[in-house]
Amino acid sequence: MGTIQSSVGLITGIPIQDTVEQLMGISARPRDLLSSRTAALQQEQVAITELTALAVGLDLASAAFGRETLYETTSVASSNSEALSVTQTADSVNLQNQQVRVVQLAQTNSFGSRDLGSSTESLGYSGQLKIETGGFIDSSAALEDLNGGRGVERGQIRITDRSGNSAMIDLSGATTIDDVLASINESTDIDVRASTSGDKIVLTDKTGKTLSNLSVSEVGGGSTASDLGLRGINTASDSASGRDIYSLSAATSLSSLRDGRGVGFAGEDDIAITLRDGTELSIDFGDFSREATNASGTTTAADPNARLTIETVAAGGDYDGLEVLFVNDVGVAAGSETVELLEGTYGKQLVFHIDEGNTTATNIADALAGNEELSALFTATAGGDGSAAVSTADFAVVDGGAAIDPQSNPTIEDLLRVLNEADPKLQTSLSASGDAIELTDLSEGTGTLTIADAEGSTAASDLGLVFEGEADSTTGIALQSGLQSVSLSTLAGGAGLGTLGTISITAHDGSTADVDLSAANSVADVITAINESGLDIEADYNDQGTGIAIRDLTGGTTSNLKVSSLDETAAKLGLEIDTTDTYANGNNLRAQYVSRNTALSELNQGNGVGTGSFTIQDSTGQASIVSLGALESQTVGALIDQINSLSIGVEASLNADGNGIQIVDTSDGEGTLKITDRNGRTSAASLGIAGTAESRVIDGKVTSAIVGSQGISVNVNASDTVATIAAKIQDAGQYASASAAGGRLEILSKRGGTDGRLAVSTTGFDIGLRQTASAQDAVIEVGESGTATLFHSSDNVFSDAISGLSLTAKKVTDSAVDVDVTKNNSAVVSSVTNFVSAYNRLVDRMDALTAFDEATQSVGLLFGSGEVLRMQSQLGNLFTGRINAAGDIKSLGEIGVRLSDSGKMTFDTSKLTAKLETDPDSVKEFFTTETTGVAARIKETVDKLAGVGNSVLLNKNNSLQQRIETNNDRIASYNVRLESEEARLYKQYYAMEEAISKLQTNQSFIGNIAPITM
């Protein structure tokens, strides 16, 4: 059995617990004294750690003024912040003040209907309201693309009309042909109308006077008129055409051709060519890359037997651009020709010394082969039989050896390079007009030249080079549509209008004209032909920019304004007109604006469609995932190909309207084709293909399909009100927002600038929708007038016009706003101020930890500490001594930093500020010189005092830690002994109680023994 133990002896009454505790207190005195000493060591360790942190903070503070970039920091200011605000987005900006002129502010495209009465009353209309983000036919060439990519010098021109009045037209802010025409047409000083015809600007005098010639001249010695093709116009005629200023160049992007539809390349071969000598070529443009190969060049001799092909022995571009020349040398006879390689600032030349009139191509080949040194570099092959004489007029350029990386945005130059490298007998170049590709067969064969599309490619067709005939050359179609137009082949969703016929026009005054449009290639050609009909009518683009409009200027009432044709020409042009109105708005001509070459980033009003993924499930329930981020080429064509490669029953293609893609179900299942976005992304929705298939007529057949587009269609019912129509547009969630303002429907693009341009139309009803604000980019001019660069923005914010600055245009300015960039000396002053504060915090803490209070005879935790004394001494010496080998400044005092009698730092900021203004380089050198500058010296000192290596405070901390750990071990040992001693004492006392209890019990037994009586 166990025993009950009590804090007081039950037998003896002795206070056992108190007695043991008192005895243990005596025994624990050595341990408790050691614990007190350990606690003091721990407090000292905390203090050392605190000083270490403050010292490291001092090092970090000094590192700020030790960075050279600090002295390059700048601040910016605008001289007219109400017109242009400036924000610095980088620590430092190039110290160059800029001039910025706000040419125009951005506008967001908006539309409004006529007043329809109450917003909540049914309108009684039925039909569709469409909002599209493209399909515009009133394109306007950028000035930077004119003159073969040389652009136009923006300046001023002077135009004099035939009444003798002159106007100075300021084109310094013009960026497109539209801007040029608007500036001329809006001038009130002259009566001249500017328009375009193909690649030329046309000026028409409207004064009806003959007092002066119609003329154009430069202003201030510029070249603006010349660049616009107008210089030299000085005619007694009422109309004058400038020269052709719009043509292809080597730098023209292939994606911009054919009104942005580009060229259709296949995955493998693209063009099949058979030359007249029977040579068959398969042209694969691929990614337009080229491995390093042997460079070569063929001389220009007219006689094939005199031509020479010079080729490098080794692959690579070392001799790309080498010129091959022939010089007549009186010391050379036929058969003894010499050759030398010249190199200089002019480049490299391979020069043959010949006997003019006698040296043949074979002689040249032999001369090169006989030159041991140069034959190791080049070979020469004579053309034909090599018997014809070469001439000093012959010339060649060796090229094509260097490797060329894959081209993400191939150009005309890349196209011509691949074609010309296919075979020396094939030569391609830009046509004389500069609008097309010309291909020439140099084979001297007599057969048929054939050019065709390879399987799966439309490249030859798109370039207009499909050909079969005996001619040795052919020229493709115009790949650009003029300064202000699109090709007729772009219309009808990209199917084109084909060859047009003749339209008949009747004006209100009864006058008639037949207009032959058979030669028209572009919409501009159609408009020009109508305007030259002799009728008092005017054709132009409609206010939506999607069709043609005709205005009757006759003032007559004899007849309706009518346009018709015996064939489908009028209908194709959307001009079947019979109206009493003086203005007839033609139908949308459905210009294609989504093609296989369209970049996905250009869709969704230029916002792109993201890189998300979506699921396509066919009508049998089979599903696959399409990931846009995994596409090798981020184009619509690549997406279509990816969908068509899926192992499910669907087929993707461009839709018939040329404004998106369509997905047709080919599986004939019982379910319904569905497309859904994944993981919260909206790529399918942005492509207009998210949703469920409907029965549609496609290619003459009823099929289940999802037909996407870059637009929205809203069905309008008789019960709809202005408010419900606005709500339907809002619910569509894309491209535009809408509201019911009183009785008016107002539609606003969701994107500002030209990327947010919309085409809004109604079918089945007319609510008088008109454009209330055109889509317009903000434009600023950066730099001095005449050499300034223009920048565009859709939201008035320019983040890339000046490196490191964000500019926000707020108001158009006639004169330039100065953007001043200055050194930000306050950043240096601020860094030194922070350092002084860090040092003073360290000094305050050292003073507190080493303090002695005479009144209370108390001391700080580190009173008398040698470590603190060393810190005070070393830091004091550093900051009061001379600092050599760090430039002209020799002490902190020279820049306003001093130690006071209390040991704390003071800082006169005016001294540093003055020094930064008068000698900033010396200040920078003083603080930042490697190893000897102030920052380097502070780091070196702090590292010795508090660094991670063998530093004063770290060693002290480690020493304290060792003592603390030793003491803790001893305390633990004491505790073990004390616990044992306490247990022994309790055991002894309880044993004593038990013994006394037994004695008492025995005494009781003895006392109870009765004597035995006999």
Backbone angles phi, psi at 275, to 5 degrees: -75, 165
* CA atoms within 13 A of residue 85's CA, in its CB half-sphere: 7
> With contact defined as beta carbons under 8 Å apart, do 907 and 900 qualify?
no
Nearest to residue 306, comparing CAs of 269, 356, 257, 341?
356
pLDDT given for residue 1 in this prediction: 40
Q: Are 269 and 460 in contact (CB under 8 A)?
A: no
Domain topology for 1-73+824-1003:
f41 fragment of flagellin, N-terminal domain (1.20.1330)
- Type of residue at 82: E
The three state secondary structure string of 135-198 is CCCCCCCEHHHCCCCCCCCCCEEEEECCCCCEEEEECCCCCEHHHHHHHHHCCCCCCEEEEEEC
User: Residue 5: its pLDDT value, please?
Assistant: 58
Q: Residue 660 is which amino acid?
A: G
User: What confidence score (pLDDT) does residue 154 get?
Assistant: 86
Token pair belonging to 711:
């637009």
Long-range contacts of 530-538, Cβ-Cβ distance < 8 Å, separation of 24 or more: 530/503, 530/505, 533/505, 535/505, 535/507, 535/511, 536/507, 536/509, 536/511, 537/505, 537/507, 537/561
Residue 443: CB atoms within 10 Å = 19
Q: What CATH architecture is 108-134+712-773?
A: 2-Layer Sandwich (3.30)
Q: What is the pLDDT of residue 208?
A: 94
Q: Using CA atoms, how far apart are residues 98 and 399, in angstroms rounded to an integer?
A: 43
What's the full length of the chain, in residues?
1014
Per-residue model confidence (pLDDT) at position 318: 95
User: Any idea where the domains of the chain sit in the sequence?
Assistant: 1-73+824-1003, 76-102+790-818, 108-134+712-773, 156-241, 254-475, 495-585, 613-709
| Spatial separation of the C-alpha atoms in residues 432 and 714, rounded to whole Å | 49
User: Of 47, 72, 22, nearest to 846 (Cα)?
Assistant: 47
Low-confidence residues in the chain, pLDDT < 50: 1-4
Per-residue burial over 459-486, b = 16 or more CB atoms within 10 Å of its CB, e = otherwise? bbbbbbbbbeeeebebbbbbbbbbbbbb
Does an H or E element contain 51, and which?
helix 29-66
Residue 151 falls in which region: left (phi positive, over 0), alpha (psi -120 to 50) or beta: left
Instruction: Please give the pLDDT value at position 635.
Output: 92
Q: What is the 3-state secondary structure (H, E, C) of 256-302?
A: HHHHHCCCCCCCCCCEEEECCCCCEEEECCCCCCECCCEEEEECCCC
Instruction: Report how far residue 444's alpha carbon sits from residue 97's, in angstroms, rounded to the nearest whole number.
Output: 63
What are the backbone dihedrals phi and psi of residue 347, each rounded to the nearest 5 degrees, phi first?
115, -145
Q: Say if 1-73+824-1003 and 108-134+712-773 have the same CATH topology.
A: no
Q: Which residues of 606-620 are buried (b: 16+ CB within 10 A; e: fewer)?
A: eebbbebbbebbbbe
Question: Of 3.10.310, 3.10.450, 3.40.50, 3.30.70, which CATH number belongs to 495-585?
Answer: 3.30.70
**Chain CA centroid to CA 938, Å:** 44
What's the pLDDT score for residue 75? Answer: 86
Chain mean pLDDT for the chain: 91
Cβ contacts of 646-652, under 8 Å, gap ≥ 24: 646/616, 647/622, 648/616, 648/617, 648/618, 648/622, 648/623, 648/624, 649/618, 649/619, 649/620, 649/622, 650/616, 650/618
Model confidence pLDDT, tens digit, residues 59-83: 999 999 889 888 888 889 999 999 9
Q: How many CB atoms lie within 10 A of CB 990?
A: 15
Give the bridge partners for 803, in sequence order. none
553-608 pLDDT tens trace: 999 999 999 999 999 999 999 999 999 999 999 999 999 999 999 999 999 999 99
At residue 1013, the pLDDT reads: 62
b/e per residue 770-783 (b: at least 16 CB within 10 A): ebeeebbbbbbbbb
The rounded distance, in Å, linking the Cα atoms of 312 and 637 is 39
Chain mean position to CA 33? 73
Please give the helix or strand (H or E) that residue 897 lies within, else none. Answer: strand 897-899
**Residue 394 is which amino acid?**
D
Bridge partner list, 296: 311, 399
